[in-house]
Amino acid sequence: MQHFHTHYGPWALVAGASEGLGAAYAEALAKRGLHLILIARRASKLDALAKVLKDNYPIEVKTYALDLSDKEEINRFLSQLDVDPGLLVYNAAYAPIGYFNDLSEDDLQKVVAVNVLGPLLLTKSLSTKMIARGSGGIVLMSSLAGSQGSPKIATYAASKAFNTILAEGLWEELRDKGIDVVASCAGAIRTPGYELAKNAKEAPGTLDAARVAEDTLNALGKGPVVVPGRTNRFFRFLMGRVLPRKLAISIMKNNTKALS
């Protein structure tokens, strides 16, 4: 815990922190003694989470209601930020469910804005200061859906593939500068959003949000990619290394066709 605080603290920024996995990351970091900057769209949920964390841990918490699909809002937030986070967790994501031809241009643009441009802007700004300091960490949330084409969530899956590849490149670029980078390729996670979208039966390997947050944070400094959960690691190996690509895509189609 002390090493974690020394190398990544004293402040951590969690993007997409209002509930679910983002809230689990916030609590996991609070347990490690880091002060928190929490950003998401819904101020009321951020404020409620901040109160719980401050009541339970001896930390400071700053909250910012921010639309991560808005480049100008992100840049304005970064220009006004009065502390330098030593750790970035980019958990925010936009995942419209539907076949590509049925999605609007606004949906497609928002996927790119939140899932691609958002992590790029925050990573660029915060990593520059981490390089100057000689320490820091970056967590980019990816997904097993990004390991192959995933019908009905094709654009979301493609954006998650982007984050995995970005993290792998930055891991090599930044590790000699004292900065640890990891992409967390998670499977299904028990979050409010998943409960709304899932089939009647849970996907194999579904994990609690707290488990995903802990596994990911514990993986910092150990390599460019972590896959939380033994079942999910097996499926990633199977889908990416063993099965023909066409069969892997077909399996994903069967897994996503009932999403709504």
- Residues identified as active-site: 156, 160
Which burial class, exposed, middle or buried, applies to 1 when counting CB atoms under 10 A from its CB (0-12, 13-18, 19+)? exposed
Which value, in Å, is the radius of gyration of the alpha carbons in the chain?
18
Q: Residue 222 in 3-state DSSP?
A: coil
Cβ–Cβ under 8 Å, residues 212 and 188: no
Q: What pairs with residue 186 in β-bridges?
A: 143
Beta bridge partners of 170: none
Listed residue (61, 31, 63) closest to 46, CA to CA: 63
Q: How far is CA 35 from CA 58, 61, 169, in A?
A: 9, 6, 28
The closest of 210, 214, 207, 215 to 189, measured between CA atoms, is 207
Rounded CA-CA distance 110/119 in Å is 13
